[in-house]
Amino acid sequence: MDNWRKIWSRTRQLPNTDPDLQFLIDADGFNSGAGKINEEAWSTYVRHAASLMKIQPDDSLFEIGCGSGAFLYPFYKDGHRVSGVDYSPSLIGIASLVMPEMDFSVQEAAHVDSTRRFDIVLANSVFQYFPSIEYAEEVLRLMWEKTNRMLVLLDLNDIQFADEALRIRKGSLSLGEYEKKYAGLEHLFYERNFAEKALKGKRFTINISNQQINNYGNNKFRYNVVIEKW
């Protein structure tokens, strides 16, 4: 995870005008190769996620690994209370800039205070950067304690497609570009029943669905998990 920390903690150059949604999307890493997503596709994705989460007008949202706030920003604009943590000071600085009334902090996922609760606690395309399955399980259980109603994991790497995902990842860049960008930077992959096993003994309803983002090269290898507490 330390190698990924160096990548995500690098300083971002802010635009001369107020950052827009596409800037936030790019800052969060969805700007190249198989992971590239444009603003229109992103907005459609967020609306789809909102339907999966059964979001209500007064719901509050907390995001683990929120980055610059690209996922939370549309909900903020709709009047929701949003908050999040990330280990990148530069990305948290951007999130705080574009959503000044909200609470964002630099923090490890596993160190989040679970006593301050939110209606929806989520992580979007973050669990692949964790150092181990054990760490991911720890974060998942913390998210369970922190949420009032919904626990949501979006864009998880599916272990059954691990080899193919790596081939696509390499194929989207030249060999030199790939080695320069990803040397020593591995992704973690998950079984589809990862969350269900980690929360064994808890009472919930779980919905697992394939990822579907327009023109997203990782769709085949990613899935979403929505857990509703009883």
Q: Determine the pLDDT at residue 4.
A: 53
Q: Determine the pLDDT at residue 94.
A: 95
Could you tell me the pTM of the whole model? 0.91
pLDDT in tens, 191-206: 999 999 999 999 999 9
Q: Determine the pLDDT at residue 109.
A: 97
Would you say residue 51 lies in a domain? yes
pLDDT in tens, 121-130: 999 999 999 9
Helix axes 162-171, 175-182, angle to 10 degrees: 120
Residue 110 confidence (pLDDT) above 70: yes
Would you say residue 31 lies in a domain? yes
How many domains does one find in the chain?
A: 1
CATH code of the domain in which 133 resides: 3.40.50.150
Would you say residue 23 lies in a domain? yes
Would you say residue 13 lies in a domain? no
The answer to whether 184 touches 173, Cβ cutoff 8 Å, is: no
Q: Please state, in angstroms and rounded to a whole number, the distance separating the CA atoms of residues 171 and 218.
A: 12
- Domain range holding 182? 2-8+19-229
Categorize the per-residue pLDDT at 186 as very low, low, confident or very high, splitting at 50, 70 and 90: confident
Residue 31 confidence (pLDDT) above 90: yes
Taking residues 153-177, what's their average pLDDT? 83
Q: Which of 56, 84, 51 is nearest to 70 (CA)?
A: 84
Would you say residue 195 lies in a domain? yes
Q: What string of DSSP letters covers 10-46?
A: SPPPPPSS---HHHHHHHTT-SSGGG---HHHHHHHH
**What is the overall mean pLDDT for the chain?**
92
Residue 2 confidence (pLDDT) above 60: no
Taking residues 88-108, what's their average pLDDT? 96
Would you say residue 184 lies in a domain? yes
Taking residues 96-120, what's their average pLDDT? 97
- Amino acid 19 reads P
